[in-house]
Structure 1
C-alpha cells in the first residue's frame, strides 16, 4: 500500500510541476512591448466610447464581438491614436498628460505592453482597439495649426 501512495504522490507532483512551468511560459509570450502615439485629449471613460461607437454613423457596421469584449473590460480609460483606440487602467492613464488646446495638436509618445489587439471591423474609418498596461510616458510633440 505504501508503494502505491508514494507512486500517486510522485505523479501528482510531476503534473503540478509541468503545469507551473507552462503557465509561466505562456503568460510572457502573449505580451507585445510597443511604443504608441496618442492624442493628449484624454482620457475618456470606456463606457462613453462604447456608447459613441454604438450610436455614431462613422462606426456603422462595427464588430459586435469587439464591442462585447470592450464592455467586459469594466471601468477603463481610453486615449485615441491615429487609427487606434487605446484602452488602459486609470492608473496607467494617469501617467499620461491630459491637455486640450485650440490651435494645436499634441501627440504623446508612450511605451507599453499590448495585451490584446482587436478590430472594430469593416467600418468607414477602421480602427484597431488595443488593451495595454505598464504604460510609460516617453514625451510629446506639439504641432501648431496655421490660422
Structure 2
C-alpha cells in the first residue's frame, strides 16, 4: 500500500512540474516575440512639450479641421513629450524621451529609429497635412540614420 501512495504522489509531482515548466516556457515565447512592439523613425525635431503642440494645432491654419476628440484626448494625457515622424506625432513620457540621444547638427538630417509599445493611436483629423497621433511607452533606442546634405 505504501508503494501505491509513493507512485501516485510521484506521478502528481511529475505532472505538476511538467505543467509549471510548460507554462513558464509558454510565457517566455510570448515575451520574446514582442508582437506588440512597433518600429518608428523619429525626425530631428523634438522633443517638444505636448501642451506646445496642442497650442500650435489650435492656432495654425495648416491644422484647420483637426478632430476635437483627438485634441481633447491629447490634452488629457498631461505632461508628455512629442517627437515627429513623416506621418505622425509620437507622444511619450519624459523618461522615454530621455532615452533618445538628440543632437543639434548642421548639414545633415538625422532619423532616430526606436522600438516601442503602442498604447493608443488617433487620427488628427481632416487637416491640410493629415497625421496620426500615437501614444507610446517602453521606448528603446535602436540607432540613427544620417543623411548628408550636398552643398
TM-score (norm 2): 0.74
CA distance, structure 2, for counterparts of residue 55 and residue 103 of structure 1: 31
Select 1:55's aligned residue among 55, 59, 63: 59
Distance 1:63 1:102 in 2: 35
Question: How far is 1:146 from its partner?
Answer: 1.8
Deviations 1:60-81 (A, max 9, x none): 1100000000000000011111
Please say if residues 112 and 133 of structure 1, whose CA atoms lie closer than 8 Å, have aligned partners that are also in contact: yes
Distance 1:54 1:92 in 2: 26
Q: Deviations over 1:108-135 (max 9, x none)?
A: 0000000001000111101010000000
Is contact 1:39–1:108 with CA below 8 Å preserved after alignment?
yes
Stretches of 4+ aligned residues off by more than 6 angstroms: none
Aligned to 1:127: 131
- Aligned equivalent of 1:66: 70
Q: Secondary structure at the match of 2:120?
A: strand
Are residue 77 (structure 1) and residue 70 (structure 2) matched? Answer: no
Please state how far the C-alpha of 1:41 moved relative to its aligned partner: 2.5
**2:47 equivalent in structure 1:** 43
Q: Please say if 1:87 is aligned against 2:121.
A: no
Q: Judge conservation of contact 1:32–1:115 (CA < 8 Å) in 2.
A: no
Please state whether the residue corresponding to 2:46 is helix, strand or coil. Answer: coil
Number of the residue aligned with 2:146: 142
Using structure 1 for the length normalisation, give the TM-score: 0.76
Cα shift at 1:40: 2.8
